[in-house]
Amino acid sequence: MIGLVYGVGAVVRQVAQSWVVDPVPAVSKSVAPGTEYLSVSELGAHMARPGGLTSVSLVNYLQQRILKLDPQLNAVIELNPDALRTARELDQERASGKVRGPLHGIPILLKDTLETTGMQTSAGAFGLVGEAVGKNAPLVDNLIKQGVVILGKTNMTELAGFRGAPDGWSSRGGQTLNPHQADADVGGSSSGSAAALAAGLAPLAVGAETNGSIIVPAALNGVVGLKPSVGLLDRNGIIPASRRQDTPGPMARSVYDVALMLNAMSGRDPDDPHSVGAPEGVDYTRLLVPGALTGKRIGYPTTFSANGEILPVVNSASFTRTLEVLRDQGAVLVPVDMRLADASRYEELLLSDVKEEMNAYLAKRRGLPVKSLTELIKFNEDRDGTETDHQPMLKEIAASTLTPDQREPLWDELIEDFRSTVDDPIKAENLDAMATDFETNAYFGVAAAGYPGITVPSGSNEDGLPTSAYFFGTRWAEPTLLAVAHGYEQAAQAMVNPRL
């Protein structure tokens, strides 16, 4: 990419299902190689210098990088045709002395479940491709007010995995690949968001999670992903699965950038019962300071217990190093037993929620080829044929018979059980946070509880693939979790960029 100069008037057009940037003969400043891996603070510093980097040149650079690399990754499902116009307007604002904040002029990618004006919002499904929504999700508007440039939408596991497709695959976007190794697991369902960040296609991305959909792809692609407490962020305008479990979340290549995103994304929905008690006006970067780990009491499971059976934890070499880093930075490490909740009815309850909420969502969306799950299943059969069952979970969802009255008490009991598995050891040992090896899958119970968790790169394994540490805590614990994760990240310096 050395020495390339891109036209500021480039436009984006759609050819079949691919998005192409057409350069026009106008001149912008060249962008130095390696810019794609700079942090938000570094990009902002370059933009603040007279004659320095502009948002237009950065957007152009990333568009061209997407065109060059994404055909091998399938991380980006759609580019925003208004990105350059928005970047130009933000450059003009900056030149006039108006800077909206640290994200001013910074490009961002959005998961294909977030409603975005003038673009498709399809969850990767052809059955949801049609008339574009007429407004942004409130969270998207919050980001735009802070000066981000919507670069495009990311591919994902179709219907957030509820079609029953492989991780990272959608009929509309194809198979997203892990940029570290093409045949490695890419994770889902925010697959494209994580892969795009790892490949340097954008500095920031938004994911969304019901259970594992931010944490898993972030860990497997070697980036940072925060799954916030359910209800911390406004969830309107996002294709739903379960209001009891769903949350959008920030993804980036550093904990600090994730915190900056969380600042910009914040804004609770007053009509959301899950938002009651959610903190407002928090600066999530405030605790990200040197020495943040000193004296922090961090628990880590040495055993898991379920139904009276004790299961010893065998930590990986990477997590052993994580514990050493935490200890060296002054953290107090506390071994704990972590009880596992009874998850035997979790999937049944979740799929029943999906049936109700997806049907309600599809009924309200205008200009789509389907208006219900039954119609979507038929659409997929007509399009893909029936020789192979390409949508087993979607059919299972449609067959669910649990009523809301039946679900409600079961959910209440189950979520309370999951919450106690996190709350009890934290309270008993007076912990600031918990840390686990990502490989333990502890993120499942944390997500089921509606609690926050963050995954941070911890190096690579013997196969050269990313490893990750996972930190979690009780409800609304985001400030402390970010501080702990930042302290670990800064000491470990363990992120590894892929060799593309």
Q: How many CB atoms lie within 10 A of CB 137?
A: 24
Is 268:232 a contact under the CB 8 Å cutoff?
Answer: yes
**Catalytic annotation present for 135:** no
> Which pLDDT does position 18 carry in this prediction?
43
For the whole model, what pTM was predicted? 0.95
250 closest CA partner among 482, 458, 34: 482
Q: What is the CATH number of the domain that holds 20?
A: 3.90.1300.10
Question: Is position 104 within any domain?
Answer: yes
189 is catalytic: yes
- Give per-residue pLDDT as tens, 295-346: 999 999 999 999 889 989 988 999 999 999 999 999 999 999 999 999 999 9
Closest alpha carbon to 154 in 118, 105, 201: 201
Residue 259 domain-assigned (yes or no): yes
Q: Is residue 169 part of a domain?
A: yes
Structure tokens at 163: 């079609």
Tens-digit pLDDT profile for residues 185-244: 999 999 999 999 999 999 999 999 999 999 999 999 999 999 999 999 999 999 999 999
Confidence band, pLDDT 50/70/90 cuts, at residue 21: very low
pLDDT score recorded for residue 30:
82
Q: State how many domains the chain has.
A: 1
DSSP assignments along 182-205, one per residue = TTS---SSSHHHHHHHHTTS-SEE
Residue 70 lies in a domain: yes
Q: Of 171, 189, 266, 275, which one is the catalytic site residue?
A: 189
Instruction: Look at residue 29 in the predicted model and tell me its pLDDT.
Output: 59
Q: Is the pLDDT of residue 11 over 70?
A: no
Mean of per-residue pLDDT scores for the chain: 94
Answer yes or no: is pLDDT of 145 > 60.
yes
Q: What is the dihedral of CA 211, 214, 216, 221, to 10 degrees?
A: 170
pLDDT of 450-482, one tens digit each?
A: 999 999 999 999 999 999 999 999 999 999 999
Higher pLDDT: 28 or 95? It is: 95
Of these residues, 213, 229, 275, 400, which one is catalytic?
A: 213
pLDDT at 71 > cutoff 70: yes
* Residues 387-415, mean pLDDT to the nearest whole number: 96
pLDDT in tens, 364-397: 999 999 999 999 999 999 999 998 899 999 999 9
The answer to whether 111 is a known catalytic residue is yes
Cβ neighbours for 495, distance < 8 A, ≥ 6 positions apart: 222, 223, 253, 254, 457, 489
Q: Is 371 inside any structural domain?
A: no
Task: Please compute the mean of the pLDDT values over residues 398-412 and round it to a whole number.
Answer: 97
Residue type, 277: G
Q: Is the pLDDT of residue 258 over 70?
A: yes
> Where is 21: in which H helix or E strand?
strand 18-22
199 is a domain residue: yes
For residue 171, the model assigns a pLDDT of 97
Among the listed residues 55, 57, 111, 171, the single catalytic one is 111
80 in any annotated domain:
yes
Could you tell me if residue 155 is inside a domain? yes
* Domain range enclosing 116: 11-275
